Structure 1
Amino acid sequence: MTTSQAERDAMRRALALATTPGVPLGPNPRVGCVLLDDDGRVVAEGFHRGAGTPHAEADALARAGSDARGTTAVVTLEPCHHTGRTGPCSQALLAAGVRRVVFAQADPNPVARGGGEALREAGVEVAEGLLAAEARAVNRAWTFAHEHGRPFVTWKFATTLDGRSAAADGTSRWVSSRPARVDTHRLRALCDTILVGTNTVVVDDPRLTVRDADDRDLPVQLLRAVMGLRELPDDRRVLDDAAETVLLRTRDPHEALALLRARERQHVFLEGGPTLAAAFLAAGLVDEVVAYVAPMLLGSGRSSVGDLGIATIADAHHLDVVDVTVLGEGAETNVRLTMTPQRPVPLQED
């Protein structure tokens, strides 16, 4: 089914509404909705503000009131078809007398999907797929978690040009520049979990909070997850009340992610040491790599990643570079590389 220019413009507006500043990144998806009359004029707009609040469609319908009858609802995500903390949006649209529904992304959540088909069966015109890629990007981690049954994993590390995360004597302050550290906190704030190993906590005693440019904790913090079997000293800062902390008593990356998924976590920021990084890489559980490269050479010291069991260049892990950004200048320069691992292509059976 074709869509009009007014509907395409409305979808772009709905995507902007979905990404309204302050809207939580989880556990619910970010969704926007615009109601149009028959002439393509905006009747009302709405967006979802987080778990327990009205969904985008319900928000827009409430603002439109009786004017919602006969409109076209343009929504960034397929209207839900289940009852959770709020009722199904598919039924709300039907009850309001909406004539046509245009949505971007099909709902990957098996519990909530089905709204599009239910609306069709009730006689509502339904068009799907408009700006679907853009809509998926809005809820990248949420979509990934539902499609793969585990959180999306971003591995972040700082390294010298020759691949060292610390000098031979163990010192590492500062491989990353101040602009890189500020940028790291920006990336932390896009996730809902930060994950390190017990050795990092024992040796480095990090706080693992999200802070602003003045090093002040932000009001909303992510979950601090510490993975491993080693006992932690009671005085470690990760055990303070600045944010919630969970201890994952396992060394298995698959099990760790399963435990976090059970807590409805969607995006893990992996900031552990080289051993933990190697474990996740070897398990094929790294989905994005962010490296802050300092223009310095050490020649020896701790490697940025542990042993991957690779003996020949043919077995190397290859990454696709998707972004290169220079942060800072002079002695405070770092280059941020954002990369995605190349996934092996399955062999086709004859």
Structure 2
Amino acid sequence: MTTATAAPAVRPAEQHALRRAFDLAATDGLVLGPNPRVGCVLLAPDGATLGEGFHRGAGTPHAEAVALENARRAVGPDALRGATAVVTLEPCAHTGRTGPCAQALRDAGIARVVYAQADPNPVATGGAALLRHAGVDVVGDVQPARGRALNPTWTAAMELGRPVVTWKVATTLDGRTAASDGTSRWITSAAARRDAHRLRAAADTVLVGSGTVAADDPSLTVRDADLGGPQPARAVMGLRDLPQASRLAAPGPDGAATVHLRTRDPRAALADLWDHDRRHVLLEGGATLAAAFWRAGMIDEVVAYVAPVLLGAGPAAVGDLGITSITGAVRLDVADVTVLQPSPDDLDLPDGARSGAAAPTVRLTLRPRKES
């Protein structure tokens, strides 16, 4: 277990380098997949910067390796002996697609390591202990909150040992996701649908049930060109085969096939996705799938788009949770409330389309309450 060292042990030059390391880590914006964003700055004994680097995602060199290579090219390998490495995350002790960063720092002659956040990944942790055993001065866990803020979903997934699950749902004010005849386009506004694509772009997997595929034939793609980045994996959970004519039976825009999780057990589905390096699942299925995840205790965040619309009948947002008394109700804490206003283009739509598209929608971000 890593022993935290008090922040005053960090020198002024190291504090400045740590701020720079955090800026470097965020250079590429949101990076999806199994690896966190990490930045590293190497300092000479007099505080001068020898090299710096950041991680660009799974399969690419880690931040420490990039910084070491840049420093070797700039000042030569001898200048690294006695240097200090300042890193946003504890250097890893794991050999995967790349070698252990802690070993690389030790072999380069680094004499001191300062890192902001202890590594919560049980597979990769242990770098601080390896370095200390080699005689390196290690100052650890000096800004854990900022480290977590840099990689909130990755950190939570490491702690949970499964992908983080965000349930996205769009409802009327009375909690309906469609009218009694099954029609649902569109309950919420165009602004809400644009925002939902932002949610998809921030997840590495979008998951629905086989019933939703049969009823709605979704594509589950990010179709907002302004968001850029890779498409999330498309996943279907359930025992039924995908209809051959469905959008999800065909390859996605990136050529990837839909992942079919042939199970009704949320735990088994998430374990399968975890084994495929998926760390953030956006759950977009219907009431039955949502209820299954709630009953399993596998929902970590809710993003609800609530439209100023009443239907009075139609499918509910979530199925039976087995709750028979108000004392058993699922309680959630509100993390954010945002009113999504229409854009000028939405206001220029024809009268028949404008009523729904141009209406404001309330986006609620909620998290299940943790009982004390």
| Interval of TM-score (by shorter of Structure 1 and Structure 2) | over 0.9
- 194-203 vs 90-99, greater mean Cα deviation: 90-99
- 116-125 vs 14-23, greater mean Cα deviation: 14-23
Q: Distance in 2 between matches of 1:71 and 1:20?
A: 24
Deviation, 1:234, is 0.1
- 1:194-205 matches, cutoff 5 A: 194-205=206-217
Deviation, 1:218, is 4.8
CA RMSD after TM alignment: 1.9
What is the aligned partner in structure 1 of residue 205 from structure 2? 193
What is the aligned partner in structure 1 of residue 367 from structure 2? 340
Judging changes above 3 Å, is the alpha-carbon distance between structure 1 residues 219 and 35 closer, same or farther for their aligned structure 2 residues?
Answer: closer
- 105-114 vs 310-319, greater mean Cα deviation: 105-114
Q: Distance in 2 between matches of 1:218 and 1:240?
A: 21
Residue 194 of structure 2: SS of its match in structure 1? helix
Contact 2:177/2:316 (CA < 8 Å) preserved in 1?
yes
- Select 1:233's aligned residue among 234, 237, 243: 243
- The two structures have a TM-score, normalised by structure 2, of 0.87
Are 1:78 and 2:111 matched, yes or no?
no
Contact 1:23/1:50 (CA < 8 Å) preserved in 2?
no
Deviation, 1:115, is 0.9
What is the aligned partner in structure 2 of residue 112 from structure 1? 124
The one-character-per-residue Cα deviations of 1:119-146 (angstroms, maximum 9, x if unpaired) are 1121211111122122123222322333
The one-character-per-residue Cα deviations of 1:51-93 (angstroms, maximum 9, x if unpaired) are 2221100101111113333222111111111322222111211
Contact 1:8/1:130 (CA < 8 Å) preserved in 2?
no
Q: Distance in 1 between matches of 2:149 and 2:198?
A: 18
The one-character-per-residue Cα deviations of 1:246-299 (angstroms, maximum 9, x if unpaired) are 111111111111111121211110000011111111111000011111112222
- The two structures have a TM-score, normalised by structure 1, of 0.92
Q: Distance in 1 between matches of 2:300 and 2:289?
A: 15
Contact 1:288/1:341 (CA < 8 Å) preserved in 2?
yes
Judging changes above 3 Å, is the alpha-carbon distance between structure 1 residues 40 and 114 closer, same or farther for their aligned structure 2 residues?
Answer: same
What is the aligned partner in structure 2 of residue 348 from structure 1? none
- Select 2:66's aligned residue among 55, 59, 64: 59
Q: Distance in 2 between matches of 1:300 and 1:41?
A: 68
Aligned letter for 2:251?
Answer: D
Deviation, 1:206, is 0.4
The one-character-per-residue Cα deviations of 1:201-227 (angstroms, maximum 9, x if unpaired) are 01100001122157xx95611111101
Q: Distance in 1 between matches of 2:274 and 2:60?
A: 22
Q: Distance in 1 between matches of 2:109 and 2:360?
A: 58
- 1:97-176 matches, cutoff 5 A: 97-176=109-188
Q: Distance in 1 between matches of 2:331 and 2:48?
A: 49
Contact 2:242/2:249 (CA < 8 Å) preserved in 1?
no
- 1:43-58 matches, cutoff 5 A: 43-58=50-65
Contact 1:292/1:337 (CA < 8 Å) preserved in 2?
yes
Aligned letter for 1:113?
Answer: T
Aligned letter for 1:220?
Answer: P
Deviation, 1:39, is 3.8
Q: Distance in 1 between matches of 2:47 and 2:23?
A: 18
Judging changes above 3 Å, is the alpha-carbon distance between structure 1 residues 167 and 55 closer, same or farther for their aligned structure 2 residues?
Answer: same
- Select 2:14's aligned residue among 3, 7, 12: 7
What is the aligned partner in structure 2 of residue 260 from structure 1? 273
Residue 177 of structure 2: SS of its match in structure 1? strand
Q: Distance in 2 between matches of 1:61 and 1:326?
A: 47
Contact 1:291/1:337 (CA < 8 Å) preserved in 2?
yes
Gaps of 5+ in 2: 348-357
Are 1:32 and 2:39 matched, yes or no?
yes
Contact 2:28/2:56 (CA < 8 Å) preserved in 1?
no
Aligned letter for 2:233?
Answer: L
- Select 1:90's aligned residue among 102, 106, 115: 102
Are 1:16 and 2:26 matched, yes or no?
no
- 36-45 vs 335-344, greater mean Cα deviation: 36-45
Residue 90 of structure 1: SS of its match in structure 2? helix
Residue 303 of structure 1: SS of its match in structure 2? coil
Residue 241 of structure 1: SS of its match in structure 2? coil
- Select 2:232's aligned residue among 222, 226, 229: 222
What is the aligned partner in structure 1 of residue 354 from structure 2? none
Contact 2:242/2:248 (CA < 8 Å) preserved in 1?
no
Aligned letter for 2:158?
Answer: H
Q: Distance in 2 between matches of 1:16 and 1:297?
A: 46
Contact 1:320/1:341 (CA < 8 Å) preserved in 2?
yes
Contact 2:30/2:202 (CA < 8 Å) preserved in 1?
no
Gaps of 5+ in 1: 346-350
**Count of residue pairs brought into register by the alignment:** 343
Q: Distance in 1 between matches of 2:30 and 2:264?
A: 34
Judging changes above 3 Å, is the alpha-carbon distance between structure 1 residues 41 and 175 closer, same or farther for their aligned structure 2 residues?
Answer: farther
- 98-107 vs 150-159, greater mean Cα deviation: 98-107
- 133-142 vs 75-84, greater mean Cα deviation: 133-142
